[in-house]
Amino acid sequence: MFAAVAVALPFVPVRAALDIDPAQLYRQMKAAYDKGAAAGWHLADQLDYFSAVLDAGRGYELRRRDDPQNLAIKGITVDLATQLSYDPLVSNDAAEWYVRLAAQGWQNDADRGAAARALLAKLDAEDASTTKLATDADADAAALAERYPDDVQALLGQVDADLRAYNLTQDTRWRTLAFQRASQNTFPIGTVPQDMGKVLFPMIDAARNAGPGYSEAERVVARIVASHRASAHGLAVIGHVLSHDTFLIITAPADEYFGQTKLSPIGVRNELTRIGKYLDAGWGGRMTKDTVWVVDALDDWQHQYPRDYELPRLYKRAYDTLGRAGTPEAKAAQQDVRRTLLVNYPTSSEARAFLSS
């Protein structure tokens, strides 16, 4: 698949800083491919390469939209999304919008069209229903576990998917399933990544210590998980670490403007503060439209700088502000913001806060 988009680009050492440079991101994409090919394409290699493809694709879409390379990388995205059972709830790349765009670009193709249309139908269904999104996350993680038997990353992914499904829906059957899978002798309890452990292990401790809201079945399984974890004490805690050392990760510059209202990062913060003051003065629903425009700016910002550390915090501020407006439009927008946080930034403290609220 990579050979289909090879171009004559000079492969030079990576730079310390990156401002959505498509050529640089392309080089990272090639490096991830070469690493995977040399290692034999374990699941972690596949996910690493897919992450690099998503970064490169977004770089071309945002900076070189008319470059033929842009469409070619979208084709690779469709291929990998199909092969790896792409699921926005399980992915850590905050790239749902780009995967959808890639599928739209190939939906009428003779060869990739069927896969692209299936991907679009799946994303549409998941966008319309959080229950569907949660169910698909579990199914997609299970598909990878079947395709890569006994792979550590696949086994971790199943538990992670069920924890995220629970966080999204608050349906305790997903929490129970996560506990059950984590209790299996084959589960790599000693290699649980830190972000996942921050969600899983407090639940395990609460369940086995008679915390409220847990079933007796969960308490029994939680004790098994805790025992396995104690036996594995001292093992290195690892996770999936991307090999490419430059990402679409840089924070947004202060002089860049986002959304239809062209708000800068400082403008977004100031606008949320201004709206808050009007809400304090009793304006209520009259501030709904202004807050929705802020969310529009945040969404545009997220497309261009998906790993900006400030985004989860600002999305949460927008969520709380919409809650104060109280109109039907504000409540609908609030649910969209909640989904953005839980799907694109599931490991953030802001997303985890929903679990305890």
pLDDT digits (tens, 9 = 90+) for 186-212: 999 999 998 899 999 999 999 999 899
Mean pLDDT of 13-42: 78
Mean pLDDT of 118-136: 96
284-331: pLDDT as tens digits: 899 999 999 999 999 999 988 888 889 999 999 999 999 999 899 999
Q: Return the top range by mean pLDDT from 73-82, 235-244, 303-312.
A: 73-82
For all residues of the chain together, what is the average pLDDT? 88
Q: Which two tokens stand for residue 306?
A: 């998906």
* 3-state SS, one letter per residue, for the chain: CHHHHCCCCCCCCCCCCCCCCHHHHHHHHHHHHHHHHHHCCCHHHHHHHHHHHHHHHHHHHHHCCCCHHHHHHHHHHHHHHHHCCCCCCCCCCCCHHHHHHHHHHHCCCCCCHHHHHHHHHHHHHHHHCHHHHHHHHHHHHHHHHHHCCCCHHHHHHHHHHHHHHHHHHCCHHHHHHHHHHHCCCCCCHHHCCHHHHHHHHHHHHHHHCCCCCCCHHHHHHHHHHHHHHHHCCCCCCCCCCCCCCCCCCCCCCCCCCECCCCECHHHHHHHHHHHHHHHHCCCHHHHHHHHHHHHHHHHHHHHHCCCCCCHHHHHHHHHHHHHHHCCHHHHHHHHHHHHHHHHHCCCCHHHHHHHHC
28-39: pLDDT as tens digits: 899 999 999 999
Distance CA 43, CA 45 (A): 5
Min mean pLDDT across 61-65, 72-76, 101-105 is at: 61-65
Confidence band of 237 (pLDDT split at 50, 70, 90): very low
319 Cβ contact list (under 8 Å, min separation 6): 334, 337, 338, 341
Residue spans per domain, the chain: 2-107+114-129, 144-231, 265-351
More confident: 252 or 90: 90
Q: Which two tokens stand for residue 163?
A: 């924890």
13 Cβ contact list (under 8 Å, min separation 6): none
Per-residue pLDDT at 124: 96
Q: What angle do CA 161, 134, 131 make, to 5 degrees?
A: 165
Q: Which residue carries 């730079």 as its tokens?
A: 15
Per-residue pLDDT at 178: 97
What is the pTM (predicted TM-score) of this model? Answer: 0.80
Mean pLDDT of 257-275: 94
